[in-house]
Structure 1
Amino acid sequence: MKVWDLHCDTLSELRKAEHAGRPKSFAQNDLHIDLEKLQKGDYLLQCFAAFVNLGDKTPGADPLVTALEEIDQFKRIMAAYPEKIAPVYTAADIRRNAAAGKISGMLTIEEGACCKGSVGVLRRMYELGVRMMTLTWNHENELASPQRTPGGVLVPQTEKGLTGKGFEFLAEMERMHMIVDVSHLSDKGFWDIVEHGTRPFAASHSNCRALAPHTRNLTDEMIRALSERGGIAGLNYYAPFLDTDPTHPENCRSTVELIAKHAAHYKQVGGAQMIALGSDFDGIDGPHQLENAAFLPLLADALRKEGFTEDEVEGIYYRNAMRFFEENL
């Protein structure tokens, strides 16, 4: 079954390896995602995030340079394997690539601060191919607030959301049809998007807070609002976003059964049409039953056992995401 994944951090890992003098081949490597694994997993499209950590204290670290170097990684991958993977910039590219038997790659950004508060830079990012962006990662920036971490403990940030510059970015992103991604955004920021946004938006890699009370997950009220706006949510495979029980069998809390339970909760609250996949591959650690992109067929059986119809399983795997992007790019 074809796979569409809304989020991975593979570009960041490739950049780190290159900077360390140990470059990895995208054809085959030890990461969660490479070309061979995507082929084995029967991927239709992988969203590749240019990820920026504002807490990076490396001398000379610059968020804009980091993002541009990861975008360069994406461009080089697309150029190196043109017969096997091709970029997506418009809705028509999705089906064109599929008809040619190619996997698609979509460029996204995780951490809007890479634009340094400049709408002009944001527009240049769109020209480079970026089609979805989170306003924040885990640090305060000039656009918005993420969830709070006082003393390392995550608590919902309900008081600080988008800044004036953040609202300016929201309007420009919607004008360009760059998808606003609310994963990592504070609770207040989420509701700012709902109140002031006019277009469907996404939570590319977030689960259900009712099942795993991590602030990176969505409350039922958020799930309903996202669904009512025509949005989409990607199931995240990271254990702390799936389960809070450290005694889970074999100490592997990231199982396909738990992912399927979050999918079932999404369906109950917001409807099956809003569910997609958002692995967070190469941005997560710990043991996972879905060890890498090649293991995706395992999840389909768990979804069926959870009561999803074959049509709904296909929706979660790729058709819901395809519809969302074809309607909103």
Structure 2
Amino acid sequence: MELVFDGHNDVLLRLWRTMRNGGDPVREFAEGTCEGHIDGPRARAGGLAGGLCAIYIPSGDLILQEPDLNGHYVTPLAAPLERTPSLDIALEKFSIALKLDRAKAWAICRTVPEIEAAMRDGIFACVLHMEGCEAIGHDLAALDVFHAAGLRSLGPVWSRHNIFGYGVPFAYPMSPDTAPGLTNVGFDLVRACDRLGIVIDLAHITEKGFWDVAKTSTNPLVASHSNVHALTAVARNLTDKQMDAIRETKGLVGLNYAVTMLRPDARDDARTPLDLMVRHIDYMVERMGIDCVALGSDFDGATVPEEIHDAAGNQKLVAALKNAGYGQEDLIKLCRTNWLRIFSQTWR
């Protein structure tokens, strides 16, 4: 079994909803559930040894638009969120993460040696990530507090606009060049992340925002859960030019398992073969090199291929990559060590 460190999941969103409905999120993760994609037992069964766990503030019931007769769709951007309720939700999710850590259901990791130790000990290595920074104000004071609590990665925006910048919609076919980039305080956020050693995730930002980060940050460029626009022309995927810039900074792209970002028709259909996942990996490896590609499943945040189904099926992708000709050294890089390299280069 090849151990996997995954670049993106939304398990904290699911556990937060469990808590809001009166359930026990620690028990659900530790003992397992039939809900969603990730819990401790299924992670162990599929070799999912750790990952970036997103603190994401939901935008109501945003539902992907149905395709028209041509297969095209544009889902309107979610409305901007208010800061105070966003901060409340972020703190609730941080609390769940800390309770899981105290219960030894997972280990919050702030350094690469801590990740490596958790993986050796068979404990899920959680790295805390913020997907959209609505919980952080103009003065960035909350960023220092979140960093001290364990935050090691963030995306300035989700697929909505905020005080830091502009997000791309869920739309097909569409270029990622849909709106402006970073705001003035967004540039301040990027510089603060560089100072603290926080990975900046470009997964949901507009193309202009991507280039704004590229000209401001001194760290490797990272898109934690994105795929190839040339293969699936959704606004969330990366252009060749963007991937070239990631290669030049020795950055990283994590393959998103979301079927809408894998299929040529971008439909939300779980009957999506694994060879499409391999095709996106092949394209990225050819464009950027094996050191710049990893996995970013989007478990608990998207529809994934039915053959994988959940975290327990993760080794089916590993097997498909092996059958496609990837050797042991390459699989180790794709599955975990490329992420650890990025952390080593970015974290202070």
- TM-score when normalising by structure 2: 0.86
Q: Which residue does 1:68 correspond to in 2? A: 91
- Structure 1 residues 224 and 153, CA, compared in 2 at 3 Å: closer, same or farther? closer
2:265 and 2:179 map into 1 onto residues whose CA distance is 29
| The 10-residue stretch of structure 1 (315-324 or 212-221) with the greater mean CA deviation from structure 2 | 315-324
1:163 and 1:155 map into 2 onto residues whose CA distance is 21
* Match status 1:116 vs 2:137: yes
The alpha carbon displacement at 1:328 in A equals: 2.1
1:158 and 1:282 map into 2 onto residues whose CA distance is 27
The alpha carbon displacement at 1:103 in A equals: 2.6
- Structure 1 residues 292 and 149, CA, compared in 2 at 3 Å: closer, same or farther? closer
* Match status 1:262 vs 2:280: yes
Unaligned runs of 5+ in 1: none
Q: Percent identity, aligned pairs only?
A: 28
Q: Which residue does 2:162 correspond to in 1? A: 141
* Match status 1:292 vs 2:320: no
What secondary structure sits across from 2:242 in the alignment?
helix
1:246 and 1:276 map into 2 onto residues whose CA distance is 21
Q: Which residue does 1:38 correspond to in 2? A: 43
Unaligned runs of 5+ in 2: 62-78
RMSD: 2.5
Contact 1:106 1:130 in 2 (8 A): yes
Q: Which residue does 1:190 correspond to in 2? A: 210
2:165 and 2:210 map into 1 onto residues whose CA distance is 10
* Match status 1:231 vs 2:232: no
Q: Which residue does 2:4 correspond to in 1? A: 3
What secondary structure sits across from 2:55 in the alignment?
strand
What secondary structure sits across from 2:9 in the alignment?
coil
Contact 2:9 2:52 in 1 (8 A): yes
The alpha carbon displacement at 1:31 in A equals: 1.9
1:192-231 per-residue CA deviation (whole Å, 9 max, x = no partner) reads 1111211113111001111100110111111110121121
| The 10-residue stretch of structure 1 (70-79 or 179-188) with the greater mean CA deviation from structure 2 | 70-79
* Match status 1:17 vs 2:40: no
Q: Which residue does 1:98 correspond to in 2? A: 119
Contact 1:236 1:279 in 2 (8 A): yes
Contact 1:136 1:146 in 2 (8 A): yes
* Match status 1:107 vs 2:119: no
Q: Which residue does 2:187 correspond to in 1? A: 167
Q: Which residue does 1:26 correspond to in 2? A: 29
Contact 1:45 1:103 in 2 (8 A): yes
- Structure 1 residues 285 and 22, CA, compared in 2 at 3 Å: closer, same or farther? farther
1:61 and 1:282 map into 2 onto residues whose CA distance is 25
- Structure 1 residues 218 and 20, CA, compared in 2 at 3 Å: closer, same or farther? same
- Structure 1 residues 59 and 163, CA, compared in 2 at 3 Å: closer, same or farther? closer
- TM-score when normalising by structure 1: 0.91
